[in-house]
């Protein structure tokens, strides 16, 4: 057959043809362009419009950004250097970056907030990343006290005596653990408070007179810039966690009265703007406290922000609790654990883990909301930008400050939102 064939046909190709290049519209850049940018008339219009927008932004902002002055003492000098051409004057950032970051914190002590920040990251590591050794959690628990002492300074015995309050509480918890878990919880709380109210102050004073150790005291009004945003944001979110847990449990509780109080609290806080709560902190809190009590504005703001955040936190944790399979509760009951033990050993560890992305998102929101403290006279980055603009040297500068502030917020929040997305992916176990 094949012989006849080879004889009858005058020409037979005996090698394979080389693979042809695809047509020009179906390969390389052009194919990509066709598929991704110009696949239909609508897409083409959108592409051209987008290119127009990008072109406009580059033309408008590009020369201004490229022609940047970094070295000048004042806006006048900056304008003299630019000599009429359009250009950014980032000299203001070079001149005042330390104020935007630290406020009026004494420059010789800048290492303290920086160290506190580094230690905070270390303390957060075991909470945020499960690869980090669990032992590090002990450091995380200690960090609030270390951080407080680094930032404010003063007697080293003050944070230690506050810490001892928890130790007292723990001892009371252990001592009464045999009676009933409810009694031991009450004993622990009462022990801690009694220590704080009656003994913490004298202990601090006594120890300080014996061994006056401590960093130099820095007043709260020296705090400003991003330092204040981070201090308020981080302390607000970490203090609100325990309150949020209690509120979430209260809201799920069967006790009708307890439940309704929690619901009213959560709905009230979520229903009013944060700024009214901040004004309450600055204008009204003194009405509600015994005559003559006055404490620092930052502390008052932290208290209000904590209340605010705990309502949102409660909702996030409620979500975590709801996401937990019912079998877990039943299993805890089957093991004969009582309510608190079940919460502590079975429910909370899992619910909190599920809730971490939500907690991080709450934190991003809260961190951005710390800018509102400018309305009550605290010098956060926006407040400082006003102060810098009030200075005759930099009167009239605008964009450079806002670009700097915006960029720092962006880096912070973007980083955190990426982390929360990473976590969501990691926690997602359903493969849809």
Partner 1 sequence: MSSTSDLRTRTAPPKTAFRLSMLLYDQRYRSITIQIVFLFALMLGIAWLVDNTINNLRALGKDFSFAFLSAPAGYDINQRPIEYDSQMTHGRAALVGLLNTAILAVMACALATVLGVIAGVLRLSNNWIVARLMTVYVELFRNIPTLVWIIIFGAIMTESMPAPSAFRGDTPTASMLFNDSVAVTNRGVYVPAIQFSNDLGNLPLGVVAPSINWLLVLVAIIVGIYAHKVILKNATAVQNATGIRPKTWWKSLGVLFGPVALLFIFFGAHLEYPELRGFNFADGIHMRNSLIAMWLGLGIYTGAFVAENVRSGILAISRGQTEAAFALGMQPGKTMRLVILPQALRVIIPPLISQYLNITKNTSLGLAVGYMDLRSTLGGISINQTGRELEGMLLMMLIYLAVSLSISGAMNVYNNRVKLKER
Partner 2 sequence: MRKSVFYGTIAASALLAGAASAQSTLETVQSNGEIACGVSTGLAGFSAPDANGVWQGFDVAVCRAVAAAVLGDPMAVNFVSTTGQTRFSALASGEIDMLARNTTWTFSRDVDLNFTFAGVNYYDGQGFMVNRELGVSSAMELDGATVCIQTGTTTELNLADFFRVNGMSYEPVPIETNAEAQQQYLAGACDVYTTDASGLAATRASFPEPGNHAILPEIISKEPLGPAVRQGDDQWADIVRWTLNALIAAEELGVTSANIEELAAGTDNPEINRMLGSAGELGAMLGLENDWAVRAISAAGNYGEIFASTIGEQTPIGLARGLNAQWTQGGLLYAPPFR
Least spacing, CB of residue 199 vs partner 1, in Å: 22
Least spacing, CB of residue 410 vs partner 1, in Å: 5
Which residue among 26, 216, 296, 333 contacts partner 1 (CB under 8 A)? 333
Which is closer to partner 1, CB of 211 or CB of 322? 322
Q: Which listed option, partner 1, partner 2, none, makes contact with residue 294 (CB within 5 to 8 Å by class)? A: partner 2
- What span, in angstroms and rounded, lies between the C-alpha atoms of 24 and 31? 8
Judged by CB under 8 A, does residue 41 bind partner 1?
A: no
Least spacing, CB of residue 81 vs partner 1, in Å: 21
Give CA separation, 343 vs 9, 54, 72, 331, 339, in Å.
87, 53, 60, 12, 6
Q: Cβ distance 90 to 69 under 8 Å?
A: yes
Number of residues that bind partner 2 (CB under 8 A): 38
What x-and-dash track marks residues 44-83 binding partner 1 by CB under 8 A?
A: --xx--xx-xx-----------------------------
- What span, in angstroms and rounded, lies between the C-alpha atoms of 46 and 412? 32
Which is closer to partner 1, CB of 106 or CB of 273? 273
Judged by CB under 8 A, does residue 175 bind partner 2?
A: no
Least spacing, CB of residue 87 vs partner 2, in Å: 18
CB neighbour list of residue 16: distance below 8 Å, 6 or more residues apart: none
> Angle formed by the axes of helices 181-194 and 157-176, to 10°?
160
**Residue 360 C-beta-side C-alpha neighbours within 13 Å:** 20
- What span, in angstroms and rounded, lies between the C-alpha atoms of 147 and 139? 11
Q: Among positive and negative, which fits the CA dihedral 343, 345, 347, 349? A: positive
What x-and-dash track marks residues 179-218 binding partner 1 by CB under 8 A?
A: -x-xx-----------------------------------
85 is written with which tokens? 């051409």
CB atoms within 10 A of CB 360: 20
Please give the residue ranges that form the binding site for partner 2 (CB under 8 A). Answer: 76, 104, 176, 179, 183, 186-187, 190, 193-194, 197-198, 219, 221-222, 282-287, 289-294, 297, 376-377, 386-387, 389-390, 392, 395-396, 398
């Amino acid at each position: 057959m094949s012989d006849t064939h080879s004889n009858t046909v005058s020409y037979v190709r005996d090698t394979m043809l080389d693979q042809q290049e695809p047509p020009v519209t179906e390969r390389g850049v052009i194919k990509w362009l066709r598929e991704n940018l110009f696949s239909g008339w609508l897409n083409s219009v959108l592409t051209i419009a987008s290119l127009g927008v990008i072109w406009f932004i580059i033309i408008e902002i590009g020369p201004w950004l490229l022609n940047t002055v970094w070295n000048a003492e004042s806006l006048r000098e900056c304008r003299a250097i630019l000599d009429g051409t359009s250009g950014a004057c980032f000299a203001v950032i070079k001149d005042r970056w330390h104020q935007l970051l630290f406020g009026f914190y004494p420059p010789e002590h800048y290492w303290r907030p920086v160290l506190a920040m580094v230690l905070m990251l270390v303390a957060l590591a075991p909470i945020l990343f499960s690869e980090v050794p669990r032992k590090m959690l002990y450091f995380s628990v200690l960090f609030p006290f270390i951080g407080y002492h680094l930032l404010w300074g003063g007697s080293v015995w003050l944070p230690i005596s506050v810490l001892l309050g928890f130790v007292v509480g723990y001892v009371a918890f252990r001592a009464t653990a045999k009676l009933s878990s409810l009694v031991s919880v009450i004993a622990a709380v009462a022990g801690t408070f009694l220590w704080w109210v009656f003994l913490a102050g004298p202990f601090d004073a006594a120890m300080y007179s014996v061994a006056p150790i401590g960093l130099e005291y820095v007043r709260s009004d020296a705090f400003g810039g991003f330092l204040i945003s981070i201090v308020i944001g981080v302390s607000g979110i970490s203090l609100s966690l325990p309150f949020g847990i209690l509120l979430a449990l209260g809201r799920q509780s069967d006790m009708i009265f307890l439940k309704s109080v929690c619901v009213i609290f959560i709905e009230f806080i979520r229903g009013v703007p944060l700024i009214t709560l901040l004004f309450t902190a600055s204008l009204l809190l003194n009405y509600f406290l015994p005559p003559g009590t006055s404490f620092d504005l930052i502390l008052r703001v932290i208290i209000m922000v904590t209340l605010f955040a705990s309502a949102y936190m409660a909702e996030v944790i409620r979500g975590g609790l709801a996401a937990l399979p019912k079998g877990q509760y039943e299993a805890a009951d089957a093991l004969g654990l009582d309510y608190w033990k079940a919460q502590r050993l079975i429910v909370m560890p899992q619910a909190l883990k599920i809730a971490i992305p939500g907690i991080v998102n709450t934190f991003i929101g809260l961190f951005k909301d710390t800018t509102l403290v400018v309305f009550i006279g605290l010098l956060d980055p926006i407040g400082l930008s006003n102060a810098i603009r009030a200075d005759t040297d930099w009167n009239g500068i605008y964009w450079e400050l806002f670009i700097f502030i915006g960029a720092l917020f962006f880096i912070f929040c973007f980083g955190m939102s990426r982390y929360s997305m990473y976590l969501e992916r990691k926690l997602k176990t359903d493969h849809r």
